[in-house]
């Protein structure tokens, strides 16, 4: 990996000390610079969990990706910058309240004075590291916390406050994982008709004032809590918006 090229991709001039302040800066800049997107899934282009290939896609070709790509690559960058990290498996909550199977989502733990949950591959999510002790963290996208579930000694829940209630977004354990363990579910999300990634095309990125999200149906611009939706009526318009807002040329 060329660390400087990766840092330049996210608008950072040089690496700093591997501390919490620099981790916050890295995570925030990553979310503001690299979109969460499943365009390759929609195009039938296979995604393999090979780090140099992911680096080429995201850094050299200035694309985005989904959790397996973005968090695996970010983990590599963090380790190159001197951080101690672990890949972890998470289970995302379904609309009916049940949870998907193990390895459904890849996230990170970064070990500093205490472990922090770090996630740059979950779309609209917390923009800074979350301690596992229930501390509430608020940013423009909402208020978040991580709490112990009590079900197992290493079990936790990422929660977001919605309408005054804490809603679990995913469950995870602190058990360290290897990247190859996610390969089967990565394949599932590219091929199964039951996966949300094969059902819907999305490209979304955080902005300082909110978020920009593009689907085949709409372009949604959220600014300071206000949403503006523009219908997408043609393939050409979809590609025009991809280039305009995400600088992605398919």
Identify the structural domains of the chain with CATH numbers, from first to last: 3-197 (3.30.2140.20), 198-246 (no CATH)
Q: Where are the beta strands (DSSP E) in 42-118?
A: 85-92, 105-111, 115-118
Q: Which residues, in sequence order, are bridge partners of residue 220?
A: 213, 229
What are the Cα distances from residue 59, in Å, to 55, 70, 158, 180, 196? 5, 11, 28, 21, 26
Q: Cα separation of 130 and 243, whole Å?
A: 33
Tens place of pLDDT per residue across the chain (250 aa): 999 999 999 999 999 999 999 999 999 999 999 999 999 999 999 999 999 999 999 999 999 999 999 999 999 999 999 999 999 999 999 888 899 999 999 999 999 999 999 999 998 899 999 999 999 999 999 999 999 998 778 999 999 999 999 999 999 999 999 999 999 999 999 999 999 999 999 999 999 999 999 999 999 999 988 899 999 999 999 999 999 999 999 8
């Amino acid at each position: 990996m060329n660390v400087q090229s990766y840092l330049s991709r996210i608008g950072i001039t040089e690496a700093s000390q591997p501390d919490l302040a620099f981790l916050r800066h890295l995570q925030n800049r990553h979310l503001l610079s690299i979109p969460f997107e499943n365009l390759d899934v929609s195009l039938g282009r296979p995604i393999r969990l090979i780090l140099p290939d992911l680096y080429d896609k995201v850094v050299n070709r200035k694309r985005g990706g989904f959790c397996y790509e973005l968090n695996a690559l970010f983990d590599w960058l963090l380790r190159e910058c001197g951080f101690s990290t672990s890949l972890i498996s998470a289970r995302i909550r379904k609309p009916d309240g049940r949870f998907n199977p193990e390895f459904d989502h890849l996230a990170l733990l970064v070990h500093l004075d205490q472990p922090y949950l770090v996630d740059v591959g979950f779309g609209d999510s917390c923009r800074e590291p979350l301690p596992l002790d229930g501390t509430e963290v608020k940013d423009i996208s909402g208020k978040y916390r991580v709490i112990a579930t009590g079900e197992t000694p290493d079990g936790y829940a990422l929660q977001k406050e919605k309408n005054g209630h804490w809603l679990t977004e995913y469950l995870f354990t602190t058990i360290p994982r290897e990247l190859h363990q996610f390969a089967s579910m990565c394949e599932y999300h590219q091929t199964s008709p039951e996966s949300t990634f094969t059902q819907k095309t999305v490209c979304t990125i955080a902005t300082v004032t909110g978020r920009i999200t593009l689907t085949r149906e709409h372009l949604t611009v959220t600014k300071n809590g206000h949403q503006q939706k523009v219908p997408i009526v043609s393939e050409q318009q979809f590609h025009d918006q991809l280039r305009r807002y995400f600088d992605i040329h398919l």
